[in-house]
Amino acid sequence: KQEVTQIPAALSVPEGENLVLNCSFTDSAIYNLQWFRQDPGKGLTSLLLIQSSQREQTSGRLNASLDKSSGRSTLYIAASQPGDSATYLCAVRPHSGGSYIPTFGRGTSLIVHP
């Protein structure tokens, strides 16, 4: 069964720092990996989707990389801002089984203080 781990569980940094959030998964046979942001009491907002054939995706100050063979993805946030404070989750879709149901990590809670 696929297991997804996110490290660190929590992170507090001063504004302006460049950040790296980690996501690891146990089964490398994945279809795609998606990064989400969740604000307190809200739903999940999709940030980036990386297909299994891709190495990275970029959107503004966000860059996500994927190393399928080692079972890792990283989300890089450049020049962090207080508005980036949220929980960041990754989800992995399996490549087999027919259902393609995503498995989620528990998230990294990020606080960026002014």
What are the residues binding other proteins (CB under 8 A)?
4, 31-32, 34, 36, 41-46, 49, 89, 91, 93, 99-102, 104-107
**Shortest spacing between CB 20 and other proteins, in angstroms:** 20
- DSSP secondary structure, 59-87, as one string: ETTEEEEEEGGGTEEEEEE-S--GGG-EE
Q: Which is nearer to other proteins, 80 or 108 (CB)?
A: 108
- Burial classification of residue 52, based on how many CB atoms lie within 10 Å of its CB (0-12 exposed, 13-18 middle, 19 or more buried): middle
Any residues with CB less than 8 A from the CB of 9 and at least 6 apart, and which? 106, 107, 108, 109
Q: Which is nearer to other proteins, 13 or 44 (CB)?
A: 44
Q: Which is nearer to other proteins, 41 or 114 (CB)?
A: 41
Q: Which is nearer to other proteins, 80 or 93 (CB)?
A: 93
**Shortest spacing between CB 95 and other proteins, in angstroms:** 9
**Shortest spacing between CB 111 and other proteins, in angstroms:** 16
**Shortest spacing between CB 17 and other proteins, in angstroms:** 25
46: left (phi over 0), alpha (psi -120 to 50) or beta: beta
Structure tokens at 3: 């297991």
